[in-house]
Amino acid sequence: MRTLRRSATPRRYLMCPPTYFRVSYSINPWMDPDKPVDLALAHAQWEDLRDRYRALGHTVEELPAHPALPDMVFAANGATVVDGRVLGARFAFAERYGEAAVHAEWYRGHGFDAVREPRHVNEGEGDFAVTASWLLAGRGFRSSPLSHAEAQEYFARPVIGLDLVDPRYYHLDTALCVLDPGGGEPGGGAPGGGGAPGGGGAEVMYFPGAFSAGSRAVLARLFPDALIAGPADATAFGLNAVSDGRHVLLPQAAVGLFEPLRERGYEPIGMDLTELLKGGGSVKCVTGELRLG
């Protein structure tokens, strides 16, 4: 195969350093407070990812960490940004409530005029994935189904609700990754353009085992050519990846995804984020995308 030539588009990301990262409580099956975290190593791994984005030509904004919010390093959860409009987060667990205001404040201070404080629980890009035509939205563990309607109204994009059924894959971004949003533009092309089955030609990879039978059928209908991940790569957090349209940064342990990605014309880049995995997150969880439209 390898006929397709993929092209990267420059992205703007928001990351928060793991300054106060620790696992002092457990709100997902990956978190074990008895397992020590090597904070220096967490820092080095996080910096490696940040520097890699920059070396690829992307902009990385840094949100300062807060000492009382150890999960803040998972910056993808703080908001969803589409066409420059910001839907703030509302967290499911008390341990993370405080992060929402810190994020909203950052956006207000950085030139984002439309910042909505949500009515319903949503954990940002943990459960919202953006294609040119749609918002794919996870529910079942964290984000409320009511947040889906709220997001659809706010972003004026149809929401495809997807039911997560395995507690290890408690956020959509642990089980599905948008490799190419389609529509010709990063996350914001012509809605429905192209008429391809993937809604503007969006491409995704996902782990079917994380979804209900009905949601698996929905994904198969929308994305018949999707890259299907197996359980070993899902457990290695291989779906928790970030794509710029060409480069796909993903946990290096997800070895089974590298060749299928290459066959589709992508360039996989393995990252080592083992310390952050102790909090239940990897590449995508620590990366918020600022889609200016």
Nearer to ligand ARG, 126 or 189 (CB): 126
Nearer to ligand ARG, 174 or 215 (CB): 174
The answer to whether the beta carbons of residues 162 and 137 sit under 8 Å apart is yes
Nearer to ligand ARG, 167 or 231 (CB): 167
Nearer to ligand ARG, 80 or 131 (CB): 80
Tell me the closest approach of the beta carbon of residue 5 to ligand ARG, in angstroms.
Answer: 30
Which residue, among 276, 205, 274, has the nearest Cα to 241 in the 3D structure? 205
Tell me the closest approach of the beta carbon of residue 91 to ligand ARG, in angstroms.
Answer: 8
End-to-end Cα spacing for the chain:
32
Tell me the closest approach of the beta carbon of residue 287 to ligand ARG, in angstroms.
Answer: 9
Examine the residue annotation and report whether 285 is marked as an active-site residue of this protein.
yes
Examine the residue annotation and report whether 16 is marked as an active-site residue of this protein.
no
Q: At 195, list the tokens.
A: 């008429």
Residues 132, 133, 136, 137, CA torsion sign? positive
Among residues 148, 171, 177, 247, the one annotated as catalytic is 171
Tell me the closest approach of the beta carbon of residue 26 to ligand ARG, in angstroms.
Answer: 9
Tell me the closest approach of the beta carbon of residue 105 to ligand ARG, in angstroms.
Answer: 20
Nearer to ligand ARG, 61 or 267 (CB): 61
Among residues 58, 103, 177, 285, the one annotated as catalytic is 285
Tell me the closest approach of the beta carbon of residue 280 to ligand ARG, in angstroms.
Answer: 4
Nearer to ligand ARG, 75 or 264 (CB): 75
Query: Which residues of this protein are in contact with ligand ARG, per CB under 6 A?
Result: 27-28, 31, 71, 74, 76-77, 96, 126, 171, 173-174, 279-281, 285
Cα separation, 172 vs 140, in Å, equals 10
Active site residues: 171, 285
